[in-house]
Amino acid sequence: MIIPESKLNALIQGYEDLYKSNEKLKKYAETDLPKRIEYVKEKYKEVVRDYNDLVSKSNRNIEKIEDLEKENKKLQNQIQKLYGDLYNKE
């Protein structure tokens, strides 16, 4: 079986490219990038926890504001009633 030189050269070039890619992949695996990915994942989890805490606080604050608005309305009604009673007695 005879392989043409051009096909042999293409095969060798393909092997060399594959080898280079494999070496790059090994270097990647040996770098801090996987560690950085884990760090980013942990930071993301922290951000999600912080966000959820802030949402809970915000919801509690909304409830407090609604309660205070109701109380304020009641007090305004009481004040108006007192003014009404005061002016009606005169």
Q: How far apart are CA 2 and CA 77, in angstroms?
A: 104
Chain centroid, CA 86 distance in Å: 58
Q: Is the pTM of this model over 0.85?
A: no
Q: How far apart are CA 33 and CA 39, in angstroms?
A: 10
12-66 pLDDT, tens digit per residue, is: 889 999 999 998 888 877 777 778 888 999 999 999 999 999 999 999 999 999 9
**Residue ranges of the domains in the chain?**
36-90
